[in-house]
Amino acid sequence: MERIAGPKGLRTAAAIRRAGLKLIYRHGFGAMSLRDLASEVGIQASSLYNHIRTKQDLLFDLIREHMDALLAQTDAALAAVPDTATERLRAFIRHHIVYHLEKKQDVFIANFELRSLEPQHYATIVAMRRAYESKLIAVLDSGVAEGAFDIRDTRITAYSILAMLTGVCTWYKPEGRLTKSEIVELHTNLVLHGCVAHCDDARS
């Protein structure tokens, strides 16, 4: 009779992931020692190896699971709105910001610890990033096709939008002045109507 993992083990495995995110976010992957990680979980360093194959695999799993969730939830968010480019773009912006604010640590690690991945792991994650970017590019392209958007270069524009939205992670504090909804609304306006210019006939 086979047993995959007992309930205690599942809890520990989850705790390792949570602690890993926290420590990698705080100190960087290279600077996180497995002894620190184990201590955060409350076990010995060697016991980690009942749950992870190597330190490198832990990093890869954390990032891959994050990208899987991001891709799936993005599809869900886009499927839930009317099939017009503007509505889909609004949904994308809303989803991107909300997801990124809720998973600050995951996002940071997935963006800035890629260099710590071994080549084949790196390639896998970069492909998933490309897939995510393509979803936004597709929204922009469809908007151009239906005449709703005027975009010179949808790829670069998509990169810029993503950079702007992801930037929220660097300053957002839950106890801050703005609610998540206000931040979403503010950035939707920045994307749709520009950051600074008067433009009365286009403002919603």
Partner DNA sequence: CGAAAAAACTAACGTACGTACGTTTATATA
Partner DNA sequence: TATATAAACGTACGTACGTTAGTTTTTTCG
Out of 23, 24, 55, 90, which residue is the one contacting DNA (CB under 7 A)?
55
Residue 136 neighbours by CB under 8 Å, 6+ apart: 92, 158, 161, 162
194: left (phi over 0), alpha (psi -120 to 50) or beta: left
**Residue 202 is a binding residue for a copy of itself (CB under 8 A):** yes
For a copy of itself, what does the binding mask look like between residues 72 and 101, x meaning CB under 8 A?
-----------------x------------
**Residue 149 is a binding residue for a copy of itself (CB under 8 A):** yes
Rounded Cα gap, residues 32 and 176, in angstroms: 29
**Residue 151 is a binding residue for DNA (CB under 7 A):** no
Torsion from C-alpha of 73, 129, 104, 99, nearest 10 degrees: -20
Rounded Cα gap, residues 72 and 99, in angstroms: 12
Residue 167's binding partner among DNA, a copy of itself, none (Cβ under 5 to 8 angstroms by kind) is: a copy of itself
Size of the site for a copy of itself (CB under 8 A): 48
Residue 130's binding partner among a copy of itself, DNA, none (Cβ under 5 to 8 angstroms by kind) is: none
Phi, psi of 119 (to 5 degrees): -45, -50
**Residue 193 is a binding residue for a copy of itself (CB under 8 A):** yes
Torsion from C-alpha of 103, 109, 110, 112, nearest 10 degrees: 130
**Residue 74 is a binding residue for DNA (CB under 7 A):** no
Out of 14, 26, 28, 35, which residue is the one contacting DNA (CB under 7 A)?
35
Using an 8 Å Cβ cutoff, are 119 and 94 in contact?
no
Q: What are the residues binding a copy of itself (CB under 8 A)?
A: 26-31, 89, 112, 115-116, 140, 143, 148-153, 156-157, 159-164, 166-168, 170-171, 178, 183, 186-187, 189-199, 201-202
